[in-house]
Amino acid sequence: MCDDELIPPRADLTEDQWLRTAGPGLPGTTAPAGTPDTTAAAHGVHRRTLLGGAVAGAALAALPFGAPRPAVAAARAAGPARFPLPSAPGPSGEYAVLVTGDAGTGKAEQYAVTAAAKEVCRAEHIGLAVGLGDNLYENGPESDDDAEFEEKFERPNTGIDVPWLMVLGNHDCSGLVPGSGGDPARGDREVAYAATSRRWYMPGRYYNVALPAGAQGDPLVEFFALDTNPVASYVVQLDPHYRWNGPYMREQRRWLDAALRASRARWKVVLGHHPYLNNGKHGSAGSYDGFTTGHYTSGVHLRELYEEVVCGRADVIMSGHDHTLQILEPTDRTRGTRQLVCGAASKTGDGTAHFTHPAAWQDFARHGFMVLKVSAGAMTVDAYTVDVATGKARLAHRTRTTRPVAAGARVPAGAR
């Protein structure tokens, strides 16, 4: 849910209850001068939102609730080959990864951030990128070939010609209420889109990727991409398959636990749209937006997933959702796992720290992105802020870690 949109009036509503009690009306806005997307927003709910939600609702009503519906990117038809996953580090001996979040508006701010990121990508020899959700505002694609993929992802990111590890955000999985996260099945369209894009990498709704790609020995770094929507939506999930304790979340939890246990990577990075800890407006899992009751709106079960499965096993949790830039410190509570919040690729926060989790550095007012760099000897996070007027990035902070969280982590053979 964006900072400029409505928060539900109480925890765990259905979308119908939200519409009846509060209404999803969005304030009228005007596109900034020079914006590539020149269509101004209308007052109230956009026609596209209503139509998309109606279609999604009709489809949802027709589904056999409770039946598993795995989404896997289809075999690729003839066409341009995907940009390859890195099989070796860059000239510095590090794998360099661009990290962005909450980018998909197609507006001038997104273009300014990607223009700045392109310069850094060239300088740092970026071989991989991460998109931390809310890939297509306001409520995700209407089909797997929706023009919004071109308008809000491909065109802005032209020139950053690497694979993008994409995760699903609440705006990618919404129906009538933009950003509600109440129709997670819509995310299957983003999985399907991966079959036709050179950049968009999403082989499933959740998945893992290890680098170097194709390595015979132990990998240096492994990414674990999650779908956090069913346990952090603003509305109750009506489809039993996607409920907080339904088959989908039970299977995802089993997968994550097994994948982290089996991983032999020196560094482990978990990607999820909703943060575990967060000093921005939305707050942390278990008390999102001030809610502490219910199975959904508060994110209490996502907090359980992070604390019981991820903390102490992964080195970093990377999230968006809050439109801020934060490098939080690992603590006893996190058992050494560090939280990064990187959701300022197209929108910004309110300029205020709302909570006091220990931070190495944070910014609540500027646009920006991060770069993760990993070698056998260190994991480094560079935070960049962006001047939208000039499209230029400034290195604002650097954090370096030399000790992996996992006990007994070994240096892969032949790694630097």
Question: Comparing C-alpha atoms, which of 18, 299, 21 is closest to residue 178?
Answer: 18
Distance, in Å, from the CA atom of 68 to the CA atom of 31, rounded to the nearest integer, reads 41
Helices (H) and strands (E) in the chain, counts: 7, 14
User: Helix, strand, coil % (nearest 5) of the chain?
Assistant: 25, 20, 60
Long-range contacts from 36-45, C-beta under 8 angstroms, 24+ separation: 36/106, 36/107, 36/108, 36/111, 36/151, 36/155, 36/156, 37/105, 37/106, 37/107, 37/151, 45/176, 45/178
Strands (E), 234-366: 267-271, 316-319, 325-328, 338-342, 359-363
**pLDDT tens sequence for the chain (416 residues):** 445 567 899 999 999 999 888 654 533 333 334 433 333 332 333 434 443 443 344 333 333 344 455 677 766 555 579 999 999 999 999 999 999 999 999 999 999 999 999 999 999 999 999 999 999 999 999 999 999 999 999 999 999 999 999 999 999 999 889 999 999 999 999 999 999 999 999 999 999 999 999 878 899 999 999 999 999 999 999 999 999 999 999 999 999 999 999 999 999 999 999 999 999 999 999 999 999 999 999 999 999 999 999 999 999 999 999 999 999 999 999 999 999 999 999 999 999 999 999 999 999 999 999 999 999 999 999 999 999 999 999 999 999 999 999 854 444 444 44
ω into 404 cis (within 30 of 0): no
Any idea what the Cα angle at residue 107 is, between residues 102 and 111, rounded to 5°? Answer: 80
Question: At 114, is the secondary structure helix, strand, or coil?
Answer: helix
Is residue 373 within 8 Å of residue 124, measured between CB atoms?
yes
Q: Are 193 and 200 in contact (CB under 8 A)?
A: yes
- Tokens at residue 294, please? 């219910």
Burial class (CB in 10 A: 0-12, 13-18, 19+), 31: middle
In angstroms, the CA 347 to CA 153 distance is 15
> What is the rounded CA–CA span in Å between residue 357 and residue 268?
22
Query: Which amino acid is it at 92?
Result: S
Q: What pLDDT is stored for residue 72 in this prediction?
A: 76
Give the phi and the psi of residue 398 in degrees, each rounded to 5: -135, 130
The H or E element that residue 262 is part of is helix 247-262
- In angstroms, the CA 206 to CA 178 distance is 22
- Alpha helices, H only, 8-107: 15-21, 47-62
Distance CA 253, CA 261 (A): 12
What pLDDT does residue 43 have? Answer: 31
Total-model pTM: 0.88
